[in-house]
Amino acid sequence: MKKLLTLSLIFLMWACSSSPSIQQYYVEKSQDPSFLVMDIPTSILGIDQATLNDEEREALASFQKFNILLFRKTDENQNQFDNELDTVRGILDNKTFDPLLVLSDPEYSGKLVLQGSLDRPDEIIFFGSSIQGFIVARLIGRKMQVDKAMLLAGVLQREGAMERAAKHLGQMF
């Protein structure tokens, strides 16, 4: 019985480590001129913690950051585009990600996947591509309270957070 347990454990570990992680991919590509990598903490929303109640504060704290990777296709990097697209697809097809939505067409595609439990995911990733390039956007947190998303949307509206974040982002470029 013990043997069996070890065996299944090994299988599990092998299954988890067989492909490069999305995090590794981000780190690797942050040096590549074809890519634009951005790390946006949720603090950019500039929400005053004092105005939140306990439930809102806890829900907001479970979301940590927003990580964006952009690849802009040019005449020169056509080959790289195809390779990178395959790589990202390979990473997201890993069993550790649960697909939520998949849309694919000869000209564009979109995919939404989740990592962790459905109730409290640790990461939600959107991957979209078109003939102009592709984007990988990761919403990262710790046991994110997705069921409170509506509550948080209300908070964001109340605090005018989206306008502030847009202004911040506008200054970055």
Partner 1 sequence: MKKKIILLFLTMMTPFVWGQDVFEKYEYNDNVTYFSISPKMFQMLAKLSIETNDPQADQLLSMVKKIKTFKVITTENEGVGEDINSWATKYIKAHKLQELMRVRDKEAYVDFYVKSTNDDLVKELLMLVTDINKEQVHLGNRSPETVLLYLNGDIDLEQISKLVNQMNLPGGSQLGKINKH
- Binding footprint of partner 1 on the chain (CB under 8 A): 1, 4, 8, 11, 89, 98-106, 112, 114, 118-119, 146-147, 149-150
In the bound state with partner 1, the residue whose beta carbon lies nearer, of 23 and 117, is: 117
Least CB distance to partner 1 at residue 4 (A): 6
Return the CA Rg of the chain: 19
Least CB distance to partner 1 at residue 131 (A): 12
Least CB distance to partner 1 at residue 157 (A): 15
**91 and 20 Cβ atoms separated by less than 8 Å:** yes
**Distances, alpha carbon 13 to alpha carbons 8, 16, 17, 60, in Å:** 9, 5, 6, 32
- How many whole angstroms separate alpha carbon 28 and alpha carbon 121? 25
- How many whole angstroms separate alpha carbon 144 and alpha carbon 127? 19
In the bound state with partner 1, the residue whose beta carbon lies nearer, of 22 and 152, is: 152
In the bound state with partner 1, the residue whose beta carbon lies nearer, of 36 and 96, is: 96
Q: Pairing between strand 63-72 and 133-141?
A: antiparallel
Tokens of 37: 């990598």
Least CB distance to partner 1 at residue 98 (A): 5
In the bound state with partner 1, the residue whose beta carbon lies nearer, of 75 and 105, is: 105
